[in-house]
Each structure stands twice: as C-alpha cells, then as structure tokens.
Amino acid sequence: MYTQLNQDRDNLSSILDITKKQSLDFLSQLPNRSTVTNISTIEASVLPEEGLGTLATLNMFNDNIEKLMVASAGPRYLGFVTGGTTPAALVGDWLVSIYDQNTQSVRGNGDVSAQIELNTIKLILELLNLPHVYMGGFVTGATMSNFTCLAVARQWLGKQLSQNVALHGVTQSYKIIAATPHSSSIKCLSMLGIGSSNILMLDTISEDRESIDVQLLEEQLIALNGEPALLISSGGTVNTVDFDDMHAISLLKRKYNFWWHIDAAFGAFAACTSEYAYLLKGWELADSITIDCHKWLNVPYDSGVFLIREEHRYLQVETFQNSNAPYLGDPLENFSYLNFLPENSRRMRALPAWFTLMAYGKMGYQEIVLRSIANARLLGQKIQSTEDFILLAPVRLNTVCFTLANNDDPSKLQQFLHRLTASGKVFMTPTVYKGKMCIRAAFVNWRTTEKDVALIFDTMKSLIVK
C-alpha cells in the first residue's frame, strides 16, 4: 500500500480527533463567524507528485482555504433560502461517508439501504400530512427534483399525444402553463428539450400578488379542449412566498386534463404546522411535488426530494430505466432507484434527513418553522416601523422583501447591500421583484433567534447613509 495511505490508515483515530476538534471550534464560533469573505481569489493547488498525507493537507487547508469558509450555516445568513445543519443531520451526513453504501436496490444486490430512503420518504409524507400515494427519492436539490418530476410529466404529455418521448425524443410542442415559476423550472424545460420559451405565462391574480389567476387558468384549460397540459405551480415563490391557490387548482384537476406539478421547495414545510397548512390545502391531488430538504429541514446541501404519484410509476420507469431492453413486469416488484431517477450511483442522501426527522420529530419541525416565520414577521415589523425602508410585500411566511425608502436610484440600494454584506454580520441577496431590484431575507435556519433579528435590524439601520 502506498506509504501516505498506509500511515493515514494507522493514524486515523488521531486524525479524526484533530478534525473533530476543528469542527467543534468552527461550530461553536459559527454565530460570530463572518458571513462574507473579502478574499476573492485563492492560489490554485498543484497536484503533488508524492502526496502530503492527511494531516499536512489539513494544515494546508487551514492555511489557505479555511478562511474562505463563510458562516452560510449560521443564524444570520438570510441569502438564497439556505438552511443550516441540525446536530442529528450532521451525524447522519458524517455517517453517510463512513458507511458509503450503494443505495440503488431494495433487495437483490446484497444491500438494502434503498429501503431506508423509501422509509425516509414515508417520514416526509407524514411530516407534511401527505397521503401515502407518492413514490419519492433523493436528488441533489430542488432543481434536479423539478427536472425529475417534469421529465415524467413530459413522458405523460407524450403518451397523451400517442408519443413515447423516452424512446423517440420530443417531436412536437407541449402546453406548459405557469404564472411565477422558479427559474430552475424554466432551466429544466430547456434541459428537457421542451424549450424554456415554450411556456405560457399567465397573469397573477393582481398586481401585488405572485399567485396564478385561477380564473384565467380555467379559461385556458377550457380553450385547450382536452389537449393535455402541464401546470407548474408555485408552493411558495422565492420573493414574497406567495402560493398558488392549491384548493382551487385541485378542483380544476378533477375536471381538466393536465399534469399538476408543484414546486414547493421550501413552502412545503408550512404543511407541518396547523397554522399554515391551509396554504397547501388540496396539494395532495398533485401529480408531482418538489421539496428541498437542505432548506427548511436543515440538512446539509445535496438534499432535494421528488414526490411522484405511484400511479405514474410506469411513466417514471419509461423515463429513467437504465437499460436498453424494454422493461418487463412490475417495476416496483424488483425496485431499483436507478430506474426511477436521473442518477445511477448516489451517496446515501436520505440518511441525514432520516436522522433529523427521527431526532426532532413533528414537534421539532413545527417549532423551527413557526420560529422562522415569527422571526421574518419581526423583521417585517421593524422595517415598517422606520422611515428608512419600505416593505414591498406583506410577510406571508418566512421571507422579507424590502427596499430603501429613497429607492429611485438603484445604485444606492446596491451600495447599501454591499455595505450590509461587507459587515459580515448578516447576509442577504438581491432580487428583482416587479421589475425592480430589491433585497430579500429568507429565514429557514434552525439557529436563528429573536436576538439575531435585533442584531440584523440594528446593522441595517447603522448602514443607512442619509
């Protein structure tokens, strides 16, 4: 065995002790750690001839790279929609690498870890009060989940028009309908050969809403006269967390011929609370649903979930089967994930989610979700209580969308955001809402408290230039 490899194997215990100490030091300092780095380039490493061994490599990482690591898992990182990592999720994630299982088959390959994934999907359905009519699995994130769901929707659209897209490719255009789709769904239409411009954008119910106009939608469906369509609904838009009217759409679903996909990447988690579950009432009739566990579930990145109704499993296998031979028999009888999703080999992505769901249960997640919403509301109230900022939409759930009171000059807003980011105390991302640049703060991290909100707002106030 190669010298460095052999040495590392013999010294693994002390190597892991050193790594554990470093990890704990980082996590205990996470709230104080900067949310931004002012280093913009790093020196590229050169492949060593002999290799340094793990400890020397760790030292090198600490000298050159560690300082670039920002507090994106910390309590005041409100950019994008980024959850942190609960202690249980961390343990699960660590063990994924320790056990390094092959997660394809439920039985037959000497490994049953795919059953843990199916079981974790069941836990997610239970958390979100969804019926057990969905087959689900883990992919990298909501983008790939949208891709997986929309790929099966494409197969369905094709079948409705007597085409087998998986076999013959896309040969005609499809009716795709949405009002405020996430950018990733549009990217998926491009990746799927449907074409990102082939989407019929319907109006929202009013100027100040991002929710689809259901009446227009029904008119559109009537006009299609039975021609199949794909509806991409938003279960929480990223700017103002507006929801399409799921109940109204579920009634249309009973009457018209369309595949109903819901992108509920983070909004899905509203369903675990009695206070906000109404936002998703009726969603259990959807054909497919996208959920991101690396958002409100607070597991580390690389954790998106797709849910696709079991009745579509043949379409799903036709889309993803990893074989040139036509599929024989019931695909669920000899279930293997590689026939149900884009990837073949994957890490055991379900384990962090399984750990955290078992460790904190329904009540733990209700508390995280409600606290995130309370924190967002509090920041919204503080913003409304001053003359320096304007709240651009009511805080409907966990996101605050705002701008400066003097917002006629977009460069002023940019400069303000730049100062805010440079403070290292809080991180928010710019967005475009109603054609104008503004700022968005998304609350999903389990660590964030009321005290953080106070610090966030004080920092914002102190950076106003009169």
Ligand X SMILES: *Cc1c(COP(=O)(O)O)cnc(C)c1O
Scanning 52-60, 165-173, 259-267, 408-416 for contacts with ligand X by CB under 6 A, the matching segment is 259-267
Scanning 104-112, 250-258, 261-269, 309-317 for contacts with ligand X by CB under 6 A, the matching segment is 261-269
For ligand X, which residue of 141, 228, 352, 380 counts as binding (CB under 6 A)?
141
Binding mask 105-134 for ligand X (x = CB under 6 A): ------------------------------
Give the closest residue to 245 by CA, choosing from 198, 219, 207, 209: 209
d(CA 305, CA 357): 14
Rule CB under 6 A: is residue 265 a binding residue for ligand X? yes
Residue closer to ligand X, measured from CB, 106 or 397: 397
Residue closer to ligand X, measured from CB, 54 or 290: 290
Minimum Å distance from CB 361 to ligand X? 24
Let me know: does 236 contact 397? Beta carbons within 8 Å.
Answer: yes
> Would strands 175-178 and 389-391 be described as parallel, antiparallel, or unpaired?
unpaired
Rule CB under 6 A: is residue 263 a binding residue for ligand X? yes
Scanning 125-133, 141-149, 346-354, 366-374 for contacts with ligand X by CB under 6 A, the matching segment is 141-149
d(CA 459, CA 280): 35
Residue closer to ligand X, measured from CB, 242 or 318: 242
Rule CB under 6 A: is residue 376 a binding residue for ligand X? no
Minimum Å distance from CB 393 to ligand X? 16
Residue closer to ligand X, measured from CB, 266 or 457: 266
Rule CB under 6 A: is residue 142 a binding residue for ligand X? yes
Please report, as residue ranges, which positions from 285 to 324 form the binding site for ligand X (by CB under 6 A): 292, 304
Tell me how many residues contact ligand X (CB under 6 A): 13
Residue closer to ligand X, measured from CB, 155 or 180: 180
Minimum Å distance from CB 269 to ligand X? 11
Residue closer to ligand X, measured from CB, 237 or 375: 237
Minimum Å distance from CB 248 to ligand X? 20
Let me know: does 87 contact 331? Beta carbons within 8 Å.
Answer: no
Q: Which residue is nearest to ligand X (CB)?
A: 141
Rule CB under 6 A: is residue 233 a binding residue for ligand X? no
Minimum Å distance from CB 235 to ligand X? 8
Rule CB under 6 A: is residue 83 a binding residue for ligand X? no
Scanning 157-165, 223-231, 260-268, 353-361 for contacts with ligand X by CB under 6 A, the matching segment is 260-268
Rule CB under 6 A: is residue 182 a binding residue for ligand X? yes
Minimum Å distance from CB 267 to ligand X? 7
For ligand X, which residue of 71, 73, 78, 81 counts as binding (CB under 6 A)?
81
Let me know: does 187 contact 193? Beta carbons within 8 Å.
Answer: no
Sites of contact with ligand X (CB under 6 A): 81, 141-143, 182, 184, 236, 238, 263, 265-266, 292, 304
